Amino acid sequence: MSRIFDAVIPYAPMLFVPAGAGVVANWALVANGWLPIIAAATIGTGSALLVTGLTAKFLLRRFDGLRVVT
């Protein structure tokens, strides 16, 4: 896993720099619409956490007793 991390981490800025540049370039839109942006981010994050948790709970119950050989 650390080999994969070491290979991928140098490219992480490519994920964040374009997003940051987009926010700066469209700051007037962000400033005018901050409430819907925050609401969408909060609801989206909460929904993703809820679905992930429920899915994990379902899978743990469904496959209880199975052991994965590593």
Domain boundaries, the chain: 1-32, 34-70
| 40 class by beta-carbon count within 10 Å (0-12 exposed, 13-18 middle, 19+ buried) | exposed
**pTM of the predicted model, to two decimals?**
0.62
Q: Which amino acid is at 54?
A: L
CA 28: distance to chain centroid? Answer: 25
54 vs 5: CA distance, rounded Å: 28
| pLDDT 10s digits, 14-67 | 888 998 999 999 999 999 999 999 999 999 999 999 999 999 999 988 888 677
